[in-house]
Amino acid sequence: MACTSQSAVQYVRRAKHKLVGTLKGLTVIVEHLYQKEVFSEEEVSKIKTAGDDFDKTREIVNRVIKKGDAACYEFLRIIDITRKRRTERPPSFLEITASDSSSRDKFDPNCWISCFSFKDDTNMDVTDLQGPKPCHRYQEKLKSEARKISERSWIQSKAVLFNKETSLSYTSLVLDTPGQASPSKIKKSKIKKSRKVRTKKLKAYIPEDKHGTSPSELLKTYERKILLVGKPGTGKTAVVHQMLKLWSEKDNKDLDYMFYFDMREAPNITEVHKLEDLLFSVFCEPDKGKDEVLEDIKDNADSVTIIFDGFTDVGSTSVVFKLIQKTLLPEAKIIITCRPEVESADFLLDWDCLRVEVKGFSEQGIREYLSKNLSENHLNKVLCNLELFSLCHVPMYALMVVACFSFEGSDFSPHPCTVTEIYLNILHFCNQRNVSKTPENESTKWDAILSLSQAAFCATEGKNVSLTSLPKLDSCANSAILSKLLIQIGPTVRKPLCAFLHYTVQEFFAALWVLKDPEKTRCVLQQCLVQGSKHMKHLVPFLCGLLNEKNTDLLEGLLPPQQLRDTSDWFFKHLVTTFVGCSDSEDCEMDLMFLCQCLYESQSPDACLCLLDKLDYCIDASGETLDPQHCCVLAYVISQSQERKIELNLEDTTVSKQGMRPLLGCLSKLQRSDSLSRQLWSISLLTDGDVDYVSLLDFTENQLHLPVNSETQLYDRAVRVLQKRKRKVKVCLHCDHRVCQSASSFLLHHLPHIHSLSFCQSSGNLSDQTELLMNLFIVAADRQQRTGEKILNMLSSVCSYQTFPLHSHYNDKYQSDFLLDLYSHVKDCETKTGLSVLPSLQPVFQSAPAVWSIDLSERKTSILLELLKLQPEKKQVELRGCSHEESEVRSLLQCLPFISQLRYTTRSSHNKVCLSINEC
């Protein structure tokens, strides 16, 4: 406050003539002056009987001046506190731009009172200064009513959820405040969207979160007229209900009022002609002091917020129209929610307001909403299904997705929950919501849906999202499935333009229309393979889902059950034949995952067996990127196999998080092979998330299959498998041309957990395997010399030559060749690096086979001589091939003292010549 040397009485006397006619809140001022014993009861009575506000103000000012400085100070204190209720707010843009020099010269009570210096008075109760006590009691009653309304909306939403313990709460919606979009722009954007590839088109439905406004900001803003516009189901009501909740949770320091009218539940309020009747009879009536409350509402209109939710039309004589047009309570905040087509109504054409477009959930909003209400397993199914995920940008649809997945099922209606089932439940939910709002009977309602289905099919076939030829438009629009606009096609003519809230909903309705005609159903399957009509294939999963016997009850009233059964008898076989047979054509390739998706929607074991027969029980998913949805549908098809095992190829296949769980659930149906084992282990170890390694070990007969040229991450996670397994694990290595250092390190560090080490029969060539083993033994020998750890014995025990089945028919030869190669490699390392590990490796060399098998045409006999010298006893030697070099013959002769028996096998004959050393 600015300082002043004037006394209170002087300050009031100087502004006496300016206060008359400008002072507000007279009732509160008089009441408080009476409570402070400044005015007597008789004086209050005389003031109240004065003529108009002008006379009352003059009477009040004259009396406080006569009573002296203390009375004037109390008077000024009351004015200072009560003016904050009306003026502590930022001016609107319109107020700032409308101000001119003449208005600035006028007396401003707020500026005037702010220049008086008050003493600190911490004991003063300002609550009463905000308004009469009946007003405060009424405010509490309004807040209680606001809480009931906001809670009731969540209770109604929760009623469709099977899990009643789910705690629904407000999730942020995208609220944009750009300029109003013209119908032509909306139409163009729709057409442009339909030309995008499917993935981009589905993502385009999800609005971008630009961190715009919020319900709390709308509650605080001083904009007096707010228009919330949005398509059906996008969350307009949720926004205003959140505003009600936030207002009801405010403290009682400030006295203000909020009224909410649902125009859909109380359409007759547009016929009310008195403000008192609208506020007190239609909404909530004060317990006491009705006149005082109404007077305070009129005097402090800028503290009043009125919400009209679901506006469609209003008569020009009603009190609602007067409130909207600001001829009544011009300072009140009026909030209207409506659909886009209502914006062009006459009463809103020149409504200069803050326009807020409610667009539904952003990507982050969808994730937040679903994560709060779904289990992790169900959440991942939605997150990895772009059709369902983008559908959830509409909060009403997101609620139904949650409801369908939260339904635990029964023997009659078990899980899994298919996409088609979700869409059918959305259809029924929309009809149930509108059953009390439309005068239609049951037959008319289903006729309207079929009419909508026909329009959906025609639009889909023509690659269009705008619906035409829809005679029962009004009926269908009320089902909260369509967005409707009015397009100006002439000076006096408007044409309704409709579109589904989501393109997949249009495809679902189109599939309903296709099933009415069996010939049309056959035709759509053929269209899927024709260039220019391949987009029709997206109707096929819905066709399969609608033919699912589980959904028969949901289709009652739309399609005859017998017709569905007759179509089902031939449809699935025709589907498999059509899509598998298309791979014979050069310009057509079978989409295996799409077929599995279709059969999953059908939930038909017979259809899955038909596909497996066509594929000869060989499923090639190589090179695919499988999300949890793909894995789920693939696992469903595999699990339907009865007697025959399935050969599955997952080479170079990528599986996203949580995708392995359904695949591992059908291992018993798969034909085990080394290649599939390697593929499953590589995918599992490189996949984030929990994996059932126990099931995988059981499937691979306690073998951990590892590629030796893989990523470090794979071996890091393989450690967990070894450590968690109570018994030792067999490690089967798959070699390629590159040998990863991580493989050697992994094997040596975890030898105590390894039962045996072997190579896959189809794994690389012999030299790759030999190189890996040599490196293992040399590194182990070096480590043993440095640390004293007896690691070579462990390595030798897991590397028993009987564990290498590829060489089982000539193990002696392989063992002999390996020891010769190892000795040569060790000598080379000693020469190059000075590393001496030969003493540590001597026990390994002494574990030579009983019969040495040597090809002298490939080997230096001098290496054989060095190894024979290390043996504790003489060895039998089998010679294959022969070298005629004198040096080699001389070396062979030097070996004779260490040989007990010598065998020689000629190249031309397999007959062996055995000579004892004495005979030689």
The residue type of 542 is: F
> Was domain 136-177+212-360 assigned CATH 3.40.980.10?
no
Can you tell me which residue has the tokens 């589904």? 500
Using one digit for the tens of pLDDT, what is the confidence trace for 853-908? 777 777 777 777 787 888 888 888 887 776 667 777 777 788 888 888 888 776 54
169, 499, 502 from 465: Cα distances, Å: 33, 6, 9
Average pLDDT over residues 745-764: 82
Structure tokens, 780: 């182990």
DSSP-assigned letter for residue 305: E
Predicted local distance difference test score (pLDDT) of residue 297: 92
Predicted local distance difference test score (pLDDT) of residue 438: 55
Is the CB of residue 63 less than 8 Å from the CB of residue 43?
yes
Q: Of 620-634, 764-778, 811-825, which one has max mean pLDDT?
A: 620-634
Q: Of 45-59, 445-459, 640-654, 830-844, which one has max mean pLDDT?
A: 640-654
Q: Report the run of H or E that residue 773 belongs to, with start and end.
A: helix 766-787
Query: Is 815 a residue whose pLDDT tops 80?
Result: no
Predicted local distance difference test score (pLDDT) of residue 656: 81
Tell me the three-class secondary structure of 413-469, residue by residue. Answer: CCCCCCHHHHHHHHHHHHHHHCCCCCCCCHHHHHHHHHHHHHHHHHHHHCCCCCECC
CATH architecture for the domain at 8-129: Orthogonal Bundle (1.10)
End-to-end CA distance of the chain: 125
Using one digit for the tens of pLDDT, what is the confidence trace for 391-428? 999 999 999 999 888 876 655 555 668 999 999 998 88
Average pLDDT over residues 242-269: 87
Structure tokens, 466: 């705008």
Query: Is 354 a residue whose pLDDT tops 80?
Result: yes
Q: Please tell me the distance from the alpha carbon of residue 111 to that of residue 200, in angstroms, as a whole number.
A: 57
Q: Model confidence at 808, in pLDDT bands (50, 70, 90)?
A: very low
Average per-residue pLDDT for the chain? 81
Predicted local distance difference test score (pLDDT) of residue 477: 47
- Check residues 350 and 397 and name the one with the higher pLDDT: 397
Report, in angstroms and rounded to the nearest whole number, the Rg of the chain calculated over CA atoms. 43
Using one digit for the tens of pLDDT, what is the confidence trace for 554-610? 888 888 889 999 999 999 999 999 888 775 555 566 789 999 999 999 999 999 999
Is the CB of residue 777 less than 8 Å from the CB of residue 841?
yes
Predicted local distance difference test score (pLDDT) of residue 127: 54
Q: Is the pTM of this model over 0.85?
A: no
Q: Is 92 exposed, middle or buried (0-12, 13-18, 19+ CB in 10 A)?
A: middle
Predicted local distance difference test score (pLDDT) of residue 306: 96
Q: Please tell me the distance from the alpha carbon of residue 586 to that of residue 321, in angstroms, as a whole number.
A: 67
- Check residues 184 and 62 and name the one with the higher pLDDT: 62
The candidate with the shortest Cα–Cα distance to 536, out of 567, 510, 513, 562, is 510
Using one digit for the tens of pLDDT, what is the confidence trace for 156-180? 777 777 666 666 789 999 998 864 4
87, 324, 657, 835 from 864: Cα distances, Å: 105, 106, 54, 22
Cis peptide upstream of residue 416 (ω within 30 degrees of 0)? yes
Phi-psi region of 554 (alpha: psi -120 to 50; beta: other; left: phi over 0): alpha
Domain boundaries, the chain: 8-129, 136-177+212-360, 364-514, 850-920
Strand-pair category, 304-309 with 257-262: parallel
Structure tokens, 208: 């971008």
The candidate with the shortest Cα–Cα distance to 36, out of 71, 66, 84, 82, is 71
Q: Please tell me the distance from the alpha carbon of residue 722 to that of residue 754, in angstroms, as a whole number.
A: 8
Query: Is 190 a residue whose pLDDT tops 60?
Result: no
Specify which residues 729 forms β-bridges with. 754
- Check residues 27 and 905 and name the one with the higher pLDDT: 27
421, 423, 514 from 559: Cα distances, Å: 15, 16, 11
